[in-house]
Amino acid sequence: MNNIVAEKITVAPVERKDGTYALRLCLKHGQLTAGMMKTVLDTMAEFGLTSLRATTGQRMNLEGISRENLDGVIAALGASVEKAPLTTSVCSGAGICKYGMQESYGMADKLLEVVKANGPYPFKVKSGVSGCKMGCGLSFIRDIGMVGGPKGWEVHFGSSARKDAGLGVMLGSKLTEEEALGVAAKALTFYKENGRNRERTSGMLRRLGTEAVLEAVK
Ligand code: SF4
């Protein structure tokens, strides 16, 4: 175990109904490294914590921390406390998965930069990157989603997994990485300029129609 490097962990505290706290471990690409796991397990043992829960957002929640132990747990984790940073759902992609057509992690980092650079938006923007059409990175149900194909990337916009769930519109296919990111940036700018307050991309798409968005990304 001595060769395991304990990387820095970023956490965001979340208060629970019963007065306890969870610490959201903010992972990059959903990965919990060996060093992080050792630190987390040692901390759980020290404070008698029993629940480390995977979230739908590819993070981990360390649950059941009492108010009086919260600072001690954060210190034991050696963690920095921040508002949970914006993230994108991402699958393992062509670098790991045998079905992968395109490499996902690099695209996820670049898409996240595009999302950040074009904000602020009328409401939250969720993004996803998948290395193939299986869509494990939730690309087909996100505000903006990239899907890898044999000849490049597809860009999907305005999908939703909420109560009015549905697919949005495909804005392009067989695109290079640069082209796909350019299309995403145009679509997000259109949303910033045309979305109503607290209206998700899916609502704007229904209100204005797919042609308006397709025209904006030409
Ligand atoms: S979307 Fe495709 S490449 Fe990504 S994990 Fe799923 S099957 Fe693999």
Evaluate whether 144 touches 201 at the Cβ level (below 8 Å): yes
Residue 3 has pLDDT above 60, yes or no: no
Q: Is residue 29 located within the same domain as residue 126?
A: no
Token code pair at residue 101: 């057509």
Domain membership flag for residue 182: yes
CB distance 91 to ligand 1 below 6 Å: yes
Return d(Cα 193, Cα 121) in angstroms, integer. Answer: 8
Q: Is residue 117 located within the same domain as residue 199?
A: yes
Q: Is residue 185 located within the same domain as residue 205?
A: yes
Pairing of strands 152-157, 144-149: antiparallel
CB distance 158 to ligand 1 below 6 Å: no
Pocket test for ligand 1, best of 97, 129, 146 (most atoms within 8 A of CB): 97
CA 132 to ligand 1: nearest atom? 2
Using the mean position of ligand 1's atoms as its centre, give its distance from the Cα of residue 141 in Å: 15
| Range of the structural domain that residue 53 is part of | 10-81
Pairing of strands 52-54, 144-149: unpaired
Q: Tell me, what CATH number does 49's domain have?
A: 3.90.480.10
Over range 165-182, report the average pLDDT: 97
Over range 122-144, report the average pLDDT: 97
Which among 17, 9, 29, 147 is positioned nearest to 77, based on CA atoms? Answer: 9
Return d(Cα 147, Cα 210) in angstroms, integer. Answer: 19
pLDDT digits (tens, 9 = 90+) for 53-110: 999 889 999 999 999 999 999 999 998 898 888 899 999 999 999 999 999 999 999 9
Token code pair at residue 58: 């590819």
Residue listed under structure tokens 């067989």: 174
Query: pLDDT averaged over the chain?
Result: 94
Return d(Cα 91, Cα 44) in angstroms, integer. Answer: 28
Q: Say how many domains are in the chain.
A: 2
Domain membership flag for residue 2: no
